[in-house]
C-alpha cells in the first residue's frame, strides 16, 4: 500500500518524508488556501516546492470545470515536474479530460468519486488513480469502506490498472481497514500516519526496558 499525505504544508510533507514511508502527496484548492497560497504564480511555485521534497506522485488539481479549461490548466501543471499527477473532478468534461491526458502520457487522479459507477467511468477513461472519499460518505451515513470494496472488486474483475486511492481518511482504523480491503493507496493527514506508531504496550515495554537498564548500570 502507498501512503500519500493530504496537505499543502511543506513542514508536514517533509516530516512524513523523513519518516521514510511517504509515497506521494495530494492537494486541492482548499488545502492551498489553508496555507495562504494564492495567485497562479505562487501556486505553481508551491507545487514545485512539494515536488522537490518527495520522490513522486504529487496530485495537483485543476480549477476549471470545462474541458478546454481543464486541458489548459492540466497541461501547465504537468510541465512543472514529472512527479505531477493532474487531479481532475468526476464530471462529464473531467472524464473527457482524463482520456485526453491519458493519450498524452500525463497521469491523472480522478477526484470527488462517491460511487462505483463513477469509478468505473474513470478507469475506462484511463485514470491513473481514482479517489473515493470515505469520510464524506460516512458523514451522510453511507459506508465508505463498502465503496472501496466494490471498486477494488470491479477493477480486479476486469484487470483495470487504475489504482484505488482511498481519500478523506479520518483515522487509523480507516487506514487499516482500507489495507485489509486492498486499496492501493491511502491519502490522509500526517497525524493519521504517525498515529500508527502508537500502542500503550510499546510505551510501557520501553519504559520497563529503560528502567531495568538504569538499575543495572547505575
Total Cβ atoms within 10 A of residue 97? 28
Total Cβ atoms within 10 A of residue 182? 15
Q: In a 3-state reduction of DSSP, which class is residue 205?
A: helix
Please give the Cα distance from 79 to 84 (Å, whole number): 8
Asked whether the beta carbons of 152 and 166 are under 8 A apart, the reply is no
**Alpha-helical regions (H) of the chain:** 10-19, 29-34, 40-53, 67-78, 92-103, 116-125, 134-139, 144-158, 172-181, 190-195, 200-216
C-alpha grid cell for residue 195? 498515529
| Residue 2 is among the residues annotated as catalytic for this protein | no
Of 2, 79, 87, 124, the active-site residue reads 87
Active site residues: 87
Amino acid at each position: 500500500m502507498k501512503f500519500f499525505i493530504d496537505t499543502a504544508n511543506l513542514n508536514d510533507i517533509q516530516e512524513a518524508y523523513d519518516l521514510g514511508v511517504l509515497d506521494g502527496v495530494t492537494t486541492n484548492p482548499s488545502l492551498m488556501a489553508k496555507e495562504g497560497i494564492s495567485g497562479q504564480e505562487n501556486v505553481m511555485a508551491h507545487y514545485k516546492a512539494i515536488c522537490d521534497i518527495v520522490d513522486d506522485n504529487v496530485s495537483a488539481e485543476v480549477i476549471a470545470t470545462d474541458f478546454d479549461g481543464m486541458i489548459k490548466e492540466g497541461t501547465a501543471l504537468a510541465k512543472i515536474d514529472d512527479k505531477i499527477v493532474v487531479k481532475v473532478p468526476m464530471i462529464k468534461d473531467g472524464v473527457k479530460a482524463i482520456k485526453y491526458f491519458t493519450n498524452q502520457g500525463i497521469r491523472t487522479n480522478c477526484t470527488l468519486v462517491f460511487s462505483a459507477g463513477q469509478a468505473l467511468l474513470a478507469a475506462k477513461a484511463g485514470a491513473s488513480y481514482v479517489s473515493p472519499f470515505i469520510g464524506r460518505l460516512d458523514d451522510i451515513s453511507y459506508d465508505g469502506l463498502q465503496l472501496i470494496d466494490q471498486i477494488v472488486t470491479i477493477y480486479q474483475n476486469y484487470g483495470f490498472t487504475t489504482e484505488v486511492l482511498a481519500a478523506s481518511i479520518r483515522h487509523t482504523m480507516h487506514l487499516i481497514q482500507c489495507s485489509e480491503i486492498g486499496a492501493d493507496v491511502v491519502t490522509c493527514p500526517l497525524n493519521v500516519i504517525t498515529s500508527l506508531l502508537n500502542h500503550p504496550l510499546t510505551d510501557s515495554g520501553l519504559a520497563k526496558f529503560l528502567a531495568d537498564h538504569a538499575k543495572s548500570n547505575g
